[in-house]
Amino acid sequence: MKRENIIDIVDKNYRNNGGIISILEDIQKQYSYLPAEALKIVAEKTNRSLVDIYGVATFYRAFSLKPRGKHLISVCLGTACHVRGGPVVAEEFEKQLNIKAGSTTPDREFTLETVNCLGACALGPITVVDGRYFSNVNRVKVSKIIEKARYGLDKVEIGTDQRIFPVEVSCPRCNHSLMDKSFDIDGHPSIRVTISFGDTHGWLRLSSLYGSYSIEQEYKIPLDTVLNIFCPHCHADLTGASLCPECAAPMVTMIVQGGGVVQICSRRGCKEHMLDLM
């Protein structure tokens, strides 16, 4: 955990009029839990006492003070899910992962927790894994869910997934195509831009599949860096005027050939993107 990083998070949220909860949410997003040291820094930077911060952090189930595993499995034991067999599901998860609810597997892969109502009672029993909802869960589905989570729920199956489709983009200034036919990512021509951060300049290639986050880079870009992104042809700065609704970094604008614009967040690791087709 880096002190500067936490201070950054606090500053960023304070700038956007965020409260304690949004600060803690951001910390938890990055570290998957709330380190004690981080809470102390938050208290110090927000001029509040540590008990207040600690009180908020322990009040909400969504926050964890213990390190969590890579994947978070939340089994709903709310009233509706309870009568529909939630406890059986929870038990099965406990058995298969060989841990008790509220703990993490020794290999740090899974954290299992039970929650009270995830707001989808009609589809119960509900289980949420890494933010993905699974409905009508029963004993048999448990092992499949674990397997899927292990494989990675964020991985998309190109070709079969409806949410994924290729876009062709060009520079909004010179209208030159940014597509690079000589370099494929995800089996499609990639989008090539030049980037700079700090003293580093180089190229970055993005997957042209809308919804895929695959990239190739010349230099390793540390997570969380806000990049300056330029058109490789006219060297125009592609950063637009709007800010990312997720992380407040500037959004980068590109024209979609055939009409429309696509915006992606310039912060490495932030997955915010928008597509407006005309």
| Dihedral of the alpha carbons of 239, 243, 246, 249, in degrees to the nearest 10 | 50
| Residue 128 in the binding site for ligand FES (CB under 6 A) | no
CB nearer to ligand FES: pick between 120 and 236: 120
Single-letter code of the amino acid located at 179? M
Per-residue buried b or exposed e for 67-78, using 16+ beta carbons within 10 Å of the residue's own CB: ebbbbbbbbbbb
Least spacing, CB of residue 116 vs another protein, in Å: 10
**CA dist., res. 178 & res. 167, Å (int):** 11
Q: Work out which of 16, 58, 79, 135 binds ligand FES, going by CB under 6 A.
A: 79
Piece of the chain touching ligand FES by CB under 6 A; list 24-32, 95-103, 116-124, 148-156:
116-124
Q: Could you tell me the smallest distance in angstroms from the CB atom of residue 102 to another protein?
A: 12
Q: Which is nearer to another protein, 10 or 42 (CB)?
A: 42
**Least distance from ligand FES to the Cβ atom of residue 189, Å:** 43
| 100/163 with CB nearer another protein | 100
Q: What angle do CA 278, 227, 9 make, to 5 degrees?
A: 105
- Does residue 115 interact with another protein by CB under 8 A? no
Based on the shown chain and the rule CB under 6 A, indicate whether residue 124 belongs to the binding site for ligand FES. yes
Segment lying near ligand FES (by CB under 6 A), choices 32-40, 75-83, 164-172, 238-246: 75-83
Burial class (CB in 10 A: 0-12, 13-18, 19+), 55: exposed
Q: How far apart are CA 164 and CA 115, in angstroms?
A: 32
The whole-angstrom separation of Cα 126 and Cα 149 is: 15
78 binds ligand FES (CB under 6 A): yes
User: Rg for the chain (alpha carbons), in Å?
Assistant: 22
Interface segment toward ligand FES; rule CB under 6 A; list 117-125, 144-152, 177-185, 209-217: 117-125
Residue 154: CB partners within 8 Å, gap ≥ 6?
130, 213
Q: Is 36 in the site for another protein (CB under 8 A)?
A: yes
Dihedral of CA atoms 154, 277, 246, 74 in degrees, nearest 10, equals: -30
State the angle between helix axes of 36-46 and 3-15 in degrees (0 to 180), rounded to the nearest 10: 40
Show the binding pattern over residues 52-91: x = contacts another protein (CB under 8 A), - = does not.
Answer: xxxx--xxx-------------------------------
SS3 assignment, position 23: helix
- Return the half-sphere exposure (C-beta side, CA atoms, 13 A cut-off) of residue 40: 6
Quick check: 126 binds ligand FES (CB under 6 A)? Answer: yes
Which residue in 118, 149, 191, 231 binds ligand FES (CB under 6 A)? 118
- Pair of tokens at residue 139: 């004993």
Q: Residue 77's closest CA among 90, 67, 68?
A: 90
Nearest approach, Cβ of 53 to another protein (angstroms)?
8
Which of the stretches 48-56, 121-129, 221-229, 260-268 binds ligand FES when contact is defined by CB under 6 A? 121-129
Q: Would you count residue 137 as binding ligand FES (CB under 6 A)? A: no
Binding site for another protein (CB under 8 A): 36, 39, 49-55, 58-60
Site residues for ligand FES per CB under 6 A: 76, 78-81, 117-121, 124, 126
